[in-house]
A = this chain, B = another copy of it.
Amino acid sequence: MEKTVTAGVLLIGDEILSGRTQDTNLQTIAKFLAPIGISVAQARIIADEEGTIIDAVRTLSEAYDYVFTTGGIGPTHDDITAECVAKAFNTPISIRDDARKVLEDWYAQTDREVTEARLRMARIPDGATLIDNPVSGAPGFIIQNVHVMAGVPRIMNAMLHNIGPTLKGGSVVQSRTLRAAGLKEGDIAQPLGELAEKMPDLSFGSYPWYLEDNVGVALVVRGSDSDRLAEAETALIELAQNQGMIPEITRN
């Protein structure tokens, strides 16, 4: 059996924590990594504070195969991610010639200048590999297993696609989702638990919804073996049918 490859995600910035901005980067990252065979095992959302960033980078870098950070690599005073990641690995950081050239080439094609503030975005830790940014020029970087990306969703997404080919995934986790309107968790909890015990190589979840006019449960089974997933799907359909339900099935 192929091994499971895991990732930690670190979303850096006050705007998500304050509720002003609804994060979408975590879902984008998780959906991008899944078909490569990398599962997000934990995500943390933290403020622009040096100590907190350094601790989180170290903890996630040790705990998981890959780390992906977003946010805090722009030109303003609150952009301290690159500095903190360098400190987390006790690595020197400075304005690197390769990163400066990336910025100079980018701004040469615009009506804007490479100001001192913009040069902050060329501060890259020693030994890090640059990540190309086709949207706004300033690069991200990879140091050890940590991938430092921008927070702006469109830039983050472009960087993620540039990193993609360098990532080595493991077994790809697939899922089968059975949505059964009208089903109640309490009525299927026991047979579902028994099924989960009988098939310990798969992961079974149960996610109820309660809307104003419509309740139900989504039963989800995840695993990397298609045959086993098909067996589980059949068992889940039977479980729903025993409650008089015909579930909608999604496979991905």
Contact = CB atoms under 8 A, between A and B. Distances in A.
B41 A43 contact: no
Interface string A24-68: 101111110010000111111111100010000000000000000
Find the residue from A19, A27, A115, A154 having the highest chain B CB count within 10 A.
Answer: A19
A190 B116 contact: yes
B220 A76 contact: no
B15 A220 contact: yes
Nearest to A32: B19
A51 B207 CA distance: 22
A107 to B, nearest CB: 8
Contact of A210 (B44, B152, B192, B204): B152
Contacts of A82: none
Nearest to A22: B27
B30 A41 contact: no
A206 interface: yes
Interface string A201-234: 0011111111100000000101000000000000
Interface in A93-142: 112, 115-118, 120-121, 135-136
Interface stretch (A84-92, A162-170, A180-188): A180-188
A39 B14 CA distance: 10
A74 interface: yes
Interface residues of A, number: 73
B26 A45 contact: yes
Given A77-B196, A211-B154, A30 B18 contact: yes
A40 B24 contact: no
Given A19-B30, A45-B45, A136-B210, 11 more contacts: A15-B220, A17-B30, A19-B34, A26-B45, A43-B44, A48-B205, A77-B189, A112-B187, A115-B187, A118-B189, A154-B211
Interface of A: 13-24, 26-31, 34, 39-48, 52, 74-78, 112, 115-118, 120-121, 135-136, 151-152, 154-155, 173, 175, 177, 184-190, 192-193, 196-197, 203-211, 220, 222
27 contacts: A14-B203, A15-B205, A15-B207, A17-B30, A17-B40, A17-B42, A18-B175, A18-B222, A19-B27, A19-B30, A19-B31, A20-B177, A21-B207, A22-B24, A23-B26, A42-B45, A45-B45, A75-B189, A77-B192, A78-B196, A78-B205, A78-B206, A117-B189, A118-B186, A136-B208, A152-B208, A155-B210
